[in-house]
C-alpha cells in the first residue's frame, strides 16, 4: 500500500518537469503542421465530394450496363 502511494507521489512531483520538457520539445512540429495542411485540403475539397461520387457512380453504372449488354444472349 505504501509503496503504491510513494510511486504516485513521485510521479505527481515529476509532472511539472515532464510538462515543461514536453512543451519545449519541437520534434513533432512538422508532423502537426502536415496534419493541419491535410485537414485544410480536405475541408477545401469537401464541397466537391458529392460531384466526384456521382461521377464515379456513373462510371460503374455505365460499366455494369455495358457488361450486362455483352452477356445477354
pLDDT tens digits for range 17-48:
877 877 777 776 677 888 888 899 888 888 88
pTM over 0.75: no
Q: What residue spans define the domains of the chain? A: 2-71
26 DSSP assignment: -
Model confidence at 57: pLDDT above 50: yes
What separation in angstroms does the CA of 66 have from each of 24, 60, 61, 70, 73?
61, 10, 9, 6, 13
What separation in angstroms does the CA of 8 have from each of 4, 16, 21, 22?
6, 14, 20, 20
What separation in angstroms does the CA of 9 have from each of 1, 20, 58?
13, 19, 64
Model confidence at 14: pLDDT above 70: yes
Amino acid at each position: 500500500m505504501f509503496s503504491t502511494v510513494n510511486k504516485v507521489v513521485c510521479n505527481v512531483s515529476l509532472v511539472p518537469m515532464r510538462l515543461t520538457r514536453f512543451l519545449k520539445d519541437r520534434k513533432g512540429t512538422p508532423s502537426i503542421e502536415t496534419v493541419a495542411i491535410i485537414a485544410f485540403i480536405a475541408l477545401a475539397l469537401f464541397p466537391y465530394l458529392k460531384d466526384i461520387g456521382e461521377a464515379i457512380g456513373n462510371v460503374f453504372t455505365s460499366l455494369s450496363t455495358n457488361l450486362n449488354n455483352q452477356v445477354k444472349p
